[in-house]
Amino acid sequence: MLSNSTLIGGFVTTMSIIILVLFLLRMQERFDDPTHRLIRHGCRLTATVTAIRRGWEWPALSERVPFKPVFYVTATGRDFDTRQPLIFVTKFPQMPTFHEGDPVNVIVDPSNPTQTYSMFAGSSHG
């Protein structure tokens, strides 16, 4: 017959392994996230907000509201190498804290600067 301390030790070891596996799966999920990858490997540039427009989005079927408001922010900046103007449009689920004319940080994928980016207020992320 096994002693109580052996059973408790086995339980603790099993739970520790399960928690470690769940933690590693969560970290892998985070590193696979395109936004996280962009923040780690993208190029940061400053753009100027040129417009903030309110729109409507149809929610998922499981949600009970018929539609929900979203905000589209347009900002312009320049490509690092070519100095060509770039236009960025990002959808926010709520009214952003910045306004027209404010600078924003934009993280772009250097291999495709007009297609993949993330926009945030200049002071909120460093």
How far apart are the C-alpha atoms of 35 and 101, rounded to whole Å? Answer: 25
pLDDT of residue 37: 63
Give residue limits of the domains in the chain. 4-32, 42-121
Residues in the chain: 126
pLDDT of residue 88: 87
Enumerate the H helices of 1-126 as residue ranges: 4-32, 34-41
Residue 29: strand, helix, or coil? helix
Q: Give strand pairing partners of 117.
A: 108
Q: Check whether 1 has a pLDDT greater than 70.
A: no
- Asked whether the predicted pLDDT for residue 124 surpasses 60, the reply is no
The 3-state DSSP class for residue 46 equals strand
Q: Contact 101/76 with Cβ under 8 angstroms?
A: no
